[in-house]
Structure 1
Amino acid sequence: MKISVIIPVYNAEKFVSQAVLSALQFDEVHEVILIEDKSPDQALQVCEQLAEQYDRVKLYQHPDKGNHGAGPTRNLGIEKSTGDFISFLDADDYYLPNRFDAEKELFKRPEVEGVYGALGVHYYTEKAKQQYYQLFGDRLTTVYKRHDPKDVFLGQIYMLGSFGLFSIDALTIRKDSLMKKMDILFKASLRLHQDTEFLFRLSYYLNLYPGILDKAVAIRGVHEDNRITQVDSKKINPATTRVLLWKEVNDWAENETTIPENVRLHILRMYRSFQIANSTTSKKWKMILKYFLKDYKSIRSGIYNINFRGNLF
């Protein structure tokens, strides 16, 4: 296996070295691609030092040296990659020693186009734990049962609460399958939740198989400067970002002719539900929707992922 690990870097000078070293521990990792996204801290200098120190570490920026967000930054990493497989890692997260154990066996089968595993959590500070423990706890972010690839897309769309979640940090993809089956990779229009939208489409087009689900293969690093902090501080309106997410999903579903009509209508209902919830003139509908979501787990859980489940209303 020749794996390209893509790490978007923004405001992560304290953590990116750990992320890089956690990827370099594997002989299967052909290269670690750092895409520096105009960080306000000293992350660029740290990345330059890492690229100089390790032959397998490659550093890039956007052509205009500007900030473009996680989606376009990951897209640039994919464009620059030369490995046969693609894995992702956020700059404040890290891999565990078992990260590619399942992949080494599963990818021997040509029908396997992607493998997903379980993500653990680590709180870098006590303050971060106090702030986000209710959101993440000590739980694994994982799919709860081993599903056939044909059921992964519908499981995410219809029954996320009982289906579970897989994170982009615990995902490995065949590059040729990705490039052949998905014309559009990460959406530049989404500054948040672009990974959620990507995983929806990915699970529709590619055969994704479960790897290690009962123990973590990677760790989510939680600290006070995580992107979700922007939601907590009201710099970003969580209701608006959810509308944007489901608008993108709905636009895709409307244009993808192979999606069954009942699935397309379900996605449209989800989009309209969030439009109602985001309306400043419809408090009555907000209350009805909130009650509806709380009392019907299979529907409620199907419209949000762990990155924003604590900020529904």
Structure 2
Amino acid sequence: MDKISIVVAVYNAEKTLKKCVDSLIGQTLKNTEIILVNDCSKDNSSSICKQYESEYSNVIAIDNPYNVGVSATRNNGIEKAKGDYICFVDSDDYVEPDYLEQLLNNFKKYNTVPICGFIYHDEVNHCKPVKYSWSGGEEKVSLGDAFKLNAELYLTALWNKLFDMQIIEKFNVRFDENLSMGEDLRFSVEYFEKSDTEFVYAFSAHLYHYTKLSENTLMSDFARGNAEDGIKSLKMIYDLAVKYNSDAELEYNKAVKNLKDNYIYFLVRDKKYSWKQQLKKIRGFSEKYTLLTFFVDKLKAVREKFV
């Protein structure tokens, strides 16, 4: 009987962790192992993980010896995984009872990575089912089209997918621990390259509940300049997409522009940077990716709105 490993990277998640783990324990598919990897949380997360491990035989709790970040934390989870398949769930999210069962059934039916629908929850718990843009309820999607629709999280997210552990182990597919943004996308793209598949299977069943990260977390990422990591990841997916889609260059440029716009937005919203500091960051970033005049004009427009 096929076994699924679920890796949950945990950091300061005491408020959401129980709901997350309870939803995994309550799966209709029972042959699972839940690997909780705590990355030196400063709250009660470690104790919660150990409590679940003591109560459930399929829960494994791991404490990193020091804080290593989400990529290395997930890699530690992969090293412990014994399943035939693997998925990744964020510790502030939760899933429907048939999340794993539907993912596994579709993987085996179509012999490729399945991508399920999800429900988006914002900071005040407003929620909405996210509708993908295909006409029917399910569809085979070429990797080229998946790249064009990347804004819908076809490739960017991990939590709406199931991966084959044989591919991951055979080709040593791991998270890039040097990236602080775009690491999920890099993992997915590397997996697709190694598995030599030309399509994914997308279905609209809303099985995953995604909780938006707080803006403070996002701002800290962009303010540290991690948008450059995002662009590196976009370049990797572009290189893959050109095999299947002649419009890949256009889509890549659109994605980079969107990332640059977000970089400016979060930089301005982060109050710790002065105008001169913001301008310096923009100048350094823009020299690599676009004309400086465009960035300065954009920065002024955003500052007028929020400052």
Q: Distance in 1 between matches of 2:210 and 2:216?
A: 15
Retained in 2: the 8 A contact 1:102–1:211? no
2:176 is matched with which residue: 177, 187, 199? 187
1:299 aligns with none
Residue 174 of structure 2 aligns with an amino acid whose one-letter code is L
Q: Distance in 2 between matches of 1:116 and 1:274?
A: 24
Identical-pair percentage: 18
**CA offsets, 1:115-150, max 9 Å, x none?**
110111335xxxx228xx6xxx6241746454435x
1:16 aligns with 17
1:113 aligns with 112
Q: Structure 1 segments of 4 or more deviating over 4 A? A: 251-254, 258-279, 287-290
Q: CA RMSD, aligned part only?
A: 3.6
Change (3 A) 1:141 1:172: farther
Retained in 2: the 8 A contact 1:22–1:96? yes
- Are 1:170 and 2:160 counterparts? yes
Q: Distance in 2 between matches of 1:195 and 1:201?
A: 10
Residue 85 of structure 1 aligns with an amino acid whose one-letter code is Y
**CA offsets, 1:56-92, max 9 Å, x none?**
1001123xx1111111111111111001110111111
1:53 is matched with which residue: 35, 55, 60? 55
Retained in 2: the 8 A contact 1:119–1:140? yes
- Are 1:242 and 2:227 counterparts? yes
Change (3 A) 1:21 1:122: same
Q: What is the CA distance between 1:3 and its match in structure 2? A: 0.6
Q: What TM-score does the superposition give when structure 1 sets the normalisation length? A: 0.70
Retained in 2: the 8 A contact 1:141–1:165? no
2:188 is matched with which residue: 199, 223, 226? 199
**CA offsets, 1:24-75, max 9 Å, x none?**
122344210000101111101111111111111001123xx11111111111
Q: What TM-score does the superposition give when structure 2 sets the normalisation length? A: 0.71
Q: What is the CA distance between 1:191 and its match in structure 2? A: 2.1
Q: Distance in 1 between matches of 2:192 and 2:247?
A: 14
Q: Any residues of structure 2 matched to 1:261-280 within 5 Å, and which?
A: 280=282
Residue 98 of structure 2 aligns with an amino acid whose one-letter code is N
Q: Distance in 2 between matches of 1:227 and 1:191?
A: 16
Give the match's secondary structure for 1:91.
coil
Retained in 1: the 8 A contact 2:167–2:173? no
Residue 212 of structure 1 aligns with an amino acid whose one-letter code is F
1:31 aligns with 33
2:266 aligns with none
Retained in 2: the 8 A contact 1:190–1:244? yes
Residue 184 of structure 2 aligns with an amino acid whose one-letter code is D
Q: Distance in 1 between matches of 2:188 and 2:203?
A: 18
Q: Distance in 1 between matches of 2:70 and 2:223?
A: 17
What residue ranges of structure 2 are gaps of 5+ in the alignment?
Answer: 264-280, 284-290, 300-307
**CA offsets, 1:179-211, max 9 Å, x none?**
33x444211122233213323333444446435
Q: Distance in 1 between matches of 2:131 and 2:180?
A: 22
Q: What is the CA distance between 1:23 and its match in structure 2? A: 1.0
Give the match's secondary structure for 1:14.
coil
Give 1 or 2 for the bigger CA radius of gyration. Answer: 2
Tell which has more relative contact order, 1 or 2 (C-alpha 8 A, sep 6+): 1
